Amino acid sequence: MAIFTISDLHLPLSAPEKTMEVFSGWTDYVRRLEENWRRLVSPEDTVVVGGDISWAMQLERAEADFRFLDSLPGRKLLMKGNHDYWWSTRKKMEAFFASKGLTTLEILHNNAVEAEGLALCGSRGWIFENGAAADQLVIDREAGRIRMSLEAAPEGLERILFLHYPPVYCGQQIPAYLNLMKEFGVRRCYYGHLHGPSVANAYVGDFDGIALRLVSADYLRFCPMLVPSQGQEDEKRGKNASGNAQNQ
């Protein structure tokens, strides 16, 4: 059993006119995603899908995309992205999934989910657009949701934070989110949202003790990324620290 993550699927089955195939790197992406997913993920695994899931505008009209996801192996934790206009209340979404027999789909929003000895936490997040001060209201609201998710994690488990927007990007950062990660001992954060030329400005690596990883679908070439267990991550960090010490 393992945990995987991938973001920004932009599934077009419910809205064929919105296919991402018009963009470079997205040719035949639904087929590629399905083949890679089935190759990597088993029914016992958990996959965090970090937002921008379906192009549908209403929950009921996203059914084809949800059925596609439900048909893939594993338990899926769905998060909100900036293009998920179908997103509704958690109660309504869960009721919709149940009414349609979509048994592998769950919501990660204002809560935490335990899987493989880890606490999976998440929210959409936000990012300054051209430094607009008005965005601070949204940043503060999302900080509250991130706190709620981190507080919901069972005691004693490592918290992993999943965001849709990057907490650090193009010389900017969201101190409120980074401070929450430090407060709750978060050492790993996975995010999406960035595509195409924007990827060149993505921060991927260690940022003040927090490992930041970009998991947009096109960046991952439509292959879900494995989230290492705590033991594997600790071993990796130990090797990196040893290597850095030897190079000093």
pLDDT 10s digits, 121-143: 999 999 866 555 558 888 999 99
Place of tokens 């179908």: 86
Q: What is the pLDDT of residue 136?
A: 83
State the Cα–Cα distance between residues 248 and 245, nearest whole angstrom: 5
pLDDT of residue 181: 98
Owner of token pair 């949800």: 66
- Tell whether the model's pLDDT for residue 238 goes beyond 60: no
> Residues of 90-102 as b/e, b for ≥16 C-beta within 10 angstroms?
eeebeebbeeeeb
pLDDT single digits (tens) 208-235: 999 999 999 999 999 999 999 876 665 5
Find the helix or strand (DSSP H, E) in which 215 lies.
none
pLDDT at site 137 = 86
Domains of the chain: 3-247 (3.60.21.10)
Which residues, including other chains, have CB under 8 Å from residue 133's CB and lie 6 or more apart?
Answer: none
SS3 (DSSP) at 62: helix
Q: What angle do CA 123, 129, 134 make, to 5 degrees?
A: 85
pTM: 0.91
Q: Exposed, middle or buried by CB within 10 Å (0-12, 13-18, 19+), for 179?
A: exposed
pLDDT band at residue 244, thresholds of 50, 70 and 90? very low
In whole angstroms, give the CA distance from residue 108 to residue 54.
16
